[in-house]
C-alpha cells in the first residue's frame, strides 16, 4: 500500500496556509453552515415585478330595482396590472381574483357606467397579501340597464273577431267594473309606452244572437307581470232593428170532429201584430204572407168559450219571432143551430 512519508507530508502541508491547516474540520463545518444560511436568506429575498392578468370576471349586483335591458345577463371582464413577487406572480391566474360591485340607481343615472377601482379587486390566492393592484383596465364599464316599475290602472282592451256572425249584427265587449284595468309590473321602457293590455284574441260565437260572457286570458309579454291573468268578458250582440207586421190573420188548427158537427168558431180578435228579427236583407224582403200566426184548438171537443195562446212561424229560415200581440185570443164554439137561434132571438 502506498504511504506518504512524514517528510513528504510536511512539504505538502507547507503550501497550505496555517489558518486553514489549523483545526481544519471545524472550519470546514463552519463553511458548510454559512453556505446553507446564505442559500436560505437568498430564498427569502423578493424580486418585485409587474404583470398584467387578463380575463378577470366582474360580478355586478344590481340594486334599486335595476335590471339588464337584455333578457340574458351580460358578462364583463377586465385586465389587472399587478405588482408583487415574481415567484407568486408566475402562479397567478384570472380565477384567483374576485371583483364584486354593487350598482345603485343614483350612480348609474350619472353616467350610465360603473367604475371599477383597484380596491374593488380581491385576490384569494394564499400568501397574496403583499400583492398590489396598480390598475384596472377598463376602469369604467358602460351599462345598459332599466328599472322595474309598477303602473296601476292600465286599461284593458278585448281583441276579437266577429266575421262568423250574420250580417248586420254589431258586437260590443265590456269588462266587469272592478276589472276594466290591471296593475302591471315590468321594465320602465316597456311600461312607459304601454297604452293598454290586450286579451288573447277570441272569436265571437257564430250561433250567438244575444249577450253572453266567458273568461279569457290576458296576452303575455316577456318580463311583464299582471295583477290577474284572466278576466271575464261580456259580449253584447245587437242585431238589425226588428220589423212589425200588423193585421196578420190568425190561422186555426181545429179538431176534424168538431167540423163534422157543424160547429161555428168565433175569434176575438181575428188578427194580430207580429214582430220578427233577421238580417237586414232578409227582414226587409219578408212578406206578411210568409208570417203565420195560429192557434191550436184541436184538443177542444166541447162547445164553450176559451182563451187560447197565439203561436207563430215563418216560411223562411233564420227568422226569429220576437213576439205576437195580443198573446192570447178568445175562442167561442157554438153549434150552427145555436148560432141561428141566437141570431133570430135578436
Length of the chain: 346
**Using CA atoms in the order 78, 84, 89, 93, what is the torsion angle rounded to 10 degrees?**
-30
pLDDT for 341 equals 46
- Residue ranges of alpha helices (H) inside 161-260 are 188-191, 256-260
For residue 267 the three cell numbers come to 175569434
Contact 57, 94 (CB under 8 A): yes
What mean pLDDT do residues 108-135 have? Answer: 91
Of 209, 229, 208, nearest to 219 by C-alpha is: 229
Three-state secondary structure call for residue 105:
helix
For the segment 48-89, what is each residue's pLDDT rounded down to a tens digit?
789 999 999 999 999 999 999 887 889 999 999 999 888 888
For the segment 180-206, what is each residue's pLDDT rounded down to a tens digit?
999 999 999 999 999 999 999 999 877
Can you give the pTM of this predicted structure?
0.55
Three-state secondary structure call for residue 59:
strand
pLDDT for 220 equals 92
**Residues contacting residue 102 through CB under 8 Å, at least 6 positions apart:** 60, 61, 63
Kindly tell me if the per-residue pLDDT of 93 is higher than 50: yes
pLDDT for 344 equals 44
H or E element in which residue 217 lies:
strand 212-217
Residue 173 neighbours by CB distance under 10 Å: 19
Three-state secondary structure call for residue 146:
strand
Amino acid at each position: 500500500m502506498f504511504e506518504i512519508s512524514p517528510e513528504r507530508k510536511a512539504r505538502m502541508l507547507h503550501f497550505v496556509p496555517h489558518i486553514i491547516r489549523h483545526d481544519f474540520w471545524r472550519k470546514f463545518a463552519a463553511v458548510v453552515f454559512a453556505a446553507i444560511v446564505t442559500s436560505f436568506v437568498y430564498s427569502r429575498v423578493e424580486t418585485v415585478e409587474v404583470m398584467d392578468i387578463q380575463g378577470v370576471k366582474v360580478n355586478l349586483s344590481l340594486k334599486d330595482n335595476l335590471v339588464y335591458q337584455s333578457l340574458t345577463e351580460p358578462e364583463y371582464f377586465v385586465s389587472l396590472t399587478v405588482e408583487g413577487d415574481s415567484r407568486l406572480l408566475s402562479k397567478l391566474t384570472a380565477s384567483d381574483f374576485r371583483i364584486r360591485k354593487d350598482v345603485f340607481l343614483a350612480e348609474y343615472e350619472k353616467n350610465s357606467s360603473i367604475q371599477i377601482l383597484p380596491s374593488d379587486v380581491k385576490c384569494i390566492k394564499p400568501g397574496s397579501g403583499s400583492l398590489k393592484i396598480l390598475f384596472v383596465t377598463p376602469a369604467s364599464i358602460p351599462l345598459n340597464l332599466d328599472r322595474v316599475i309598477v303602473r296601476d290602472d292600465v286599461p284593458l282592451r278585448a281583441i276579437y273577431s266577429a266575421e262568423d256572425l250574420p250580417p248586420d249584427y254589431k258586437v260590443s265587449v265590456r269588462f266587469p267594473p272592478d276589472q276594466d284595468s290591471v296593475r302591471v309590473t315590468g321594465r320602465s321602457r316597456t311600461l312607459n309606452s304601454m297604452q293598454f293590455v290586450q286579451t288573447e284574441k277570441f272569436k265571437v260565437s257564430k250561433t250567438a244572437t244575444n249577450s253572453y260572457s266567458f273568461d279569457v286570458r290576458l296576452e303575455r309579454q316577456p318580463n311583464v307581470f299582471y295583477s290577474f291573468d284572466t278576466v271575464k268578458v261580456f259580449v253584447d250582440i245587437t242585431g238589425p232593428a226588428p220589423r212589425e207586421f200588423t193585421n196578420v190573420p190568425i190561422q186555426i188548427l181545429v179538431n176534424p170532429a168538431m167540423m163534422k158537427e157543424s160547429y161555428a168558431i168565433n175569434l176575438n180578435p181575428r188578427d194580430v201584430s207580429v214582430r220578427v228579427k233577421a238580417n237586414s236583407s232578409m227582414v226587409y224582403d219578408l212578406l206578411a204572407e210568409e208570417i203565420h200566426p195560429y192557434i191550436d184548438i184541436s184538443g177542444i171537443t166541447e162547445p164553450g168559450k176559451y182563451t187560447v195562446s197565439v203561436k207563430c212561424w215563418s216560411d223562411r229560415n233564420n227568422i226569429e219571432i220576437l213576439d205576437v200581440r195580443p198573446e192570447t185570443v178568445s175562442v167561442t164554439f157554438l153549434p150552427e143551430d145555436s148560432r141561428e137561434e141566437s141570431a133570430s132571438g135578436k
